[in-house]
Amino acid sequence: GNSATMRKLVDNEPLLLMKNTKIIEKNLVRAKVTHSDLRAKLREANVTQMNQVQAVVMESTGDIAVLHHDDPNHELDDVLLEGVQGWNK
């Protein structure tokens, strides 16, 4: 019925797992991602310091994207995170 359709829509939207250094616990739970999964992804993306992380997004495909930058003052362009659940300034 209707609730199943709604749930599918939610699952097909990208979900924010980390914003800067802050882990968004409720989204980790929704995405069924553990802290160790998350750390593995950060390592995979060659993150060496947590303050390099700008955003970690669970894409609708199930892939996890890690957006990071060596310069902590480097601003992440909001347009990249348009439509990602949990992202707002």
Per-residue three-class SS string for the chain: CHHHHHHHHHHCCCEEEEECCEECHHHHHHHCCCHHHHHHHHHHCCCCCHHHEEEEEECCCCCEEEEECCCCCCCCCHHHHCCCECCCC
Domain that holds residue 22: 2-72
Residue 88 belongs to a domain: no
- The number of distinct structural domains making up the chain is 1
Q: Is residue 84 part of a domain?
A: no
pLDDT at 11 over 70: no
- Please check whether residue 79 lies inside any domain of the structure: no
CA distance linking residue 35 with residue 53, whole number of Å: 15
Separation between Cα atoms, residue 31 and residue 40, nearest integer Å: 15
pLDDT digits (tens, 9 = 90+) for 26-79: 999 999 999 999 999 999 999 999 999 999 999 999 999 999 999 878 889 989
Q: Report yes or no on 78 lying in a domain.
A: no
